[in-house]
């Protein structure tokens, strides 16, 4: 039986890693606060997962000016995240059958 909470935590860490690496790649680190507080949490695991992103409030400004999210969504780590999520959803569906 699949431990959904554990698998979604792994996916959360993968998505978090994609953001942190993009922030570092663009050298947007001043004090390290944004990277140190960046978390991704999977919620609502009973039906469909939702991944909540939490970080400092000025990330909205940084993201708007430096297109961090756009770059993450185009990156290979995000594709890996999507594939892993798809695989997990398929395993969950198969398990229900």
Residue 91, pLDDT > 90, answer: yes
Q: Considering the entire predicted model, what is its pTM? A: 0.90
4-25 vs 76-96: helix crossing angle, rounded to 10:
170
Categorize the per-residue pLDDT at 46 as very low, low, confident or very high, splitting at 50, 70 and 90. confident
Domain boundaries, the chain: 4-96
């Amino acid at each position: 039986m699949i431990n959904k909470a554990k698998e979604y935590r792994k996916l959360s860490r993968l998505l978090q890693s994609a953001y942190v690496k993009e922030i570092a790649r663009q050298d947007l680190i001043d004090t390290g606060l944004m990277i140190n507080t960046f978390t991704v949490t999977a919620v609502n695991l009973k039906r469909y997962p939702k991944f909540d992103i939490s970080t400092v409030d000025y990330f909205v400004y940084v993201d708007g000016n430096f297109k961090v999210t756009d770059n993450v969504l185009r990156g290979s780590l995000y594709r890996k995240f999507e594939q892993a999520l798809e695989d997990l959803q398929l395993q969950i569906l198969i398990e229900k059958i």
